[in-house]
Amino acid sequence: MNQQKVSLTEGSIWKAILLFALPIFLGQVFQQLYNTFDAWCVGFFINDNAMGAVSSSGSLIFLMVSFFNGLAMGAGVVIARYYGAKNDEAVSKAIHTAIAFGICTGTALTIAGVTCTPVILRWMGAPEDTMVYSIPYFRYYFCGAIFTVLYNIFVGIHHAVGDSKHPLYYLICSTIINIVLDLLFLGVMGFGVGSAALATTIAQGISALLCCIHLMRSQGSARLYLRKIKFHWQSLQEIIRYGLPSAVQNSVIALANVVVQSNIFAFGTDAVNGCGAYSKLEGFAFLPVMCFSQSLSTFTGQNLGAKQHDRVKKGVGFGIACSLIMAEVVGVLSYVFAPQMIGFFAKSEAAIAYGTEHMRTICLFYCLLAFSHCIAGIMRGAGKATVPMFTMLACWCLIRVSYITVAVQFVPKLTTVSWAYPLTWTLSSIVFLIYFLKADWIHNFDRIEAQKAMK
């Protein structure tokens, strides 16, 4: 593993961030490719309603897995901190604790997802003509939820120690497998919509296995020993302390997005299909945002662990600027080519019109989303995970849901729902900017270490 790592605590700052962020970006491209290919295959080989059911699945899936992904973020922050401080024993304990935690939570998520899917879909008010496709898709998807949780933890471990390349290699492999299985199951064998989720489950399991094998073969503090997988109480406390705010934040925001999706359901099947098509394209649009957010979190964590405060300040400024520029370029291109992009997934003119309207209302504000996510990533890396939690809960949940609940009563149009995103991104960006400029967040880790030394 060592030869594949990017040093984040020494050398050129811009080169370190870009070399670390690029594999994350490419990995997310492939992640989106096989999610998107699922939707395209289902729409092509079955029908638009099946495509809408798969495409609109994102909010429910995110609701179910986001809590555990937030805890995985906490594990990554803890490991990055100790790795930057060169505390090998603490790194090893955190890695084995995180994996033990992932096995337990992944098993619980698998059971809950398979059991609760029909209830949640009916609570969301999913149209009956998509339910017949949604239920088998979700159930097959959640059969592999444990692989999703473990994969995210394995990737977080790789990223925390500066290795963003190997997860990319394994994701490329799983993407190819997923595409081949989609074509085989849907195109050749004529299986139903659940087979697309089964293909994803198999591919996700393979990528998780490859990550696990690589960690078992790596050298140094990041090496995984199966016999050492167990809970270390102090490591678990730290993972929960850093991860729980992100987990709660993700879950509540996901719940708010489920409320948004339920409002979209109210506009009928064409609106569901059009907005579902946008949701697949949105995943690609958010790639620059997410890759820099993750990179800045690891960069901040490692360099604060190494007590390189000036390097942190310079690095976060560069990362934020790159993310904003790239996000807005994507937003402008999305606005210009919206009809063609939506039409790649949706066939009916009404669905394309709904999707285009939804996309053009949102996409020019991607720069605000980028800023909010970058600051949230920086705060998590600095051990201030409660700051993004409270900010996003207030703006992206309470205000977003309140706005939609009230506004659609007076202006019952899809654009009323669509505007919920730009408006709440604007509010969170203002709050984050004020905190980022005024708060002494950069010395937080030093204070935590001092408190530990006094105990």
Q: Is residue 25 part of a domain?
A: yes
**What mean pLDDT comes out for the span 238-260?**
78
Q: Is residue 3 part of a domain?
A: no
**What mean pLDDT comes out for the span 37-47?**
75
Q: What is the per-residue pLDDT for 307? A: 84
Residue in this structure with the two tokens 């050298």, named with its chain if needed = 219
Range scoring the smallest mean pLDDT among 154-158, 265-269, 449-453: 449-453
Over 70: is that where the pLDDT of 125 sits?
A: no
Q: Is residue 251 part of a domain?
A: yes
Q: What is the per-residue pLDDT for 382? A: 85
Number of domains, the chain: 1
Q: Is residue 188 part of a domain?
A: yes
Q: Is residue 1 part of a domain?
A: no
CA atoms within 13 A on the CB side of 104: 12
Alpha carbon distance 71, 242 (integer Å): 8
Range scoring the smallest mean pLDDT among 284-288, 338-342, 426-430: 284-288
Q: For 169-178, b where at least 16 C-beta lie within 10 A, e where not — what string?
A: bbbbebbebb
* Cα radius of gyration rounded to whole Å, the chain: 21
Average pLDDT over all residues of the chain: 83
Q: What is the per-residue pLDDT for 3? A: 47
Nearest-CA neighbor of 380 among 248, 234, 235, 243?
243
Over 50: is that where the pLDDT of 1 sits?
A: no
Q: Is residue 454 part of a domain?
A: no
Map the chain to HEC letters. Answer: CHHHCCCCCCCCHHHHHHHHHHHHHHHHHHHHHHHHHHHHHHHHHCCHHHHHHHHCCHHHHHHHHHHHHHHHHHHHHHHHHHHHCCCHHHHHHHHHHHHHHHHHHHHHHHHHHHHHHHHHHHHHCCCHHHHHHHHHHHHHHHHCHHHHHHHHHHHHHHHHCCCCHHHHHHHHHHHHHHHHHHHHHHHHCCCCCHHHHHHHHHHHHHHHHHHHHHHHHCCHHHCCCHHHCCCCHHHHHHHHHHHHHHHHHHHHHHHHHHHHHHHHHCCCHHHHHHHHHHHHHHHHHCHHHHHHHHHHHHHHHHHHHCCCHHHHHHHHHHHHHHHHHHHHHHHHHHHHCHHHHHHCCCCCHHHHHHHHHHHHHHHHHHHHHHHHHHHHHHHHHCCCCHHHHHHHHHHHHHHHHHHHHHHHHHCCCHHHHHCHHHHHHHHHHHHHHHHHHHCCHHHHHHHHHHHHHHC
Q: Predicted confidence band at 2 (pLDDT cuts at 50, 70, 90)?
A: very low
**What mean pLDDT comes out for the span 46-63?**
65
Per residue in 167-220, pLDDT (tens digit) is 888 888 888 898 899 889 888 888 877 788 888 889 989 999 999 999 999 888
Per residue in 348-403, pLDDT (tens digit) is 889 899 999 999 999 999 999 999 999 998 998 888 888 888 998 899 888 998 99
**Between residues 443 and 193, which one has the greater pLDDT?**
193
Per residue in 313-357, pLDDT (tens digit) is 899 999 999 999 999 999 999 999 999 999 887 778 898 999 999
**What mean pLDDT comes out for the span 33-60?**
69
| Residue 279 lies in domain | 10-449
Model-level pTM? 0.72
Over 70: is that where the pLDDT of 452 sits?
A: no
**What mean pLDDT comes out for the span 244-261?**
75
Over 90: is that where the pLDDT of 416 sits?
A: yes
Q: Is residue 2 part of a domain?
A: no
**% of the chain with per-residue pLDDT over 70:** 90
Over 60: is that where the pLDDT of 146 sits?
A: yes
Nearest-CA neighbor of 71 among 208, 196, 198, 236?
236
**Between residues 364 and 284, which one has the greater pLDDT?**
364
Q: What is the per-residue pLDDT for 429? A: 96
Alpha carbon distance 93, 79 (integer Å): 9
Neighbouring residues of 321: CB distance < 8 A, sequence distance ≥ 6? none
Asked if 224 and 92 touch (Cβ cutoff 8 Å), the reply is no
Q: Retrieve residue 9's tokens.
A: 């605590």
Over 60: is that where the pLDDT of 450 sits?
A: no
Q: Is residue 44 part of a domain?
A: yes
Nearest-CA neighbor of 431 among 380, 371, 383?
371
Q: Predicted confidence band at 240 (pLDDT cuts at 50, 70, 90)?
A: confident
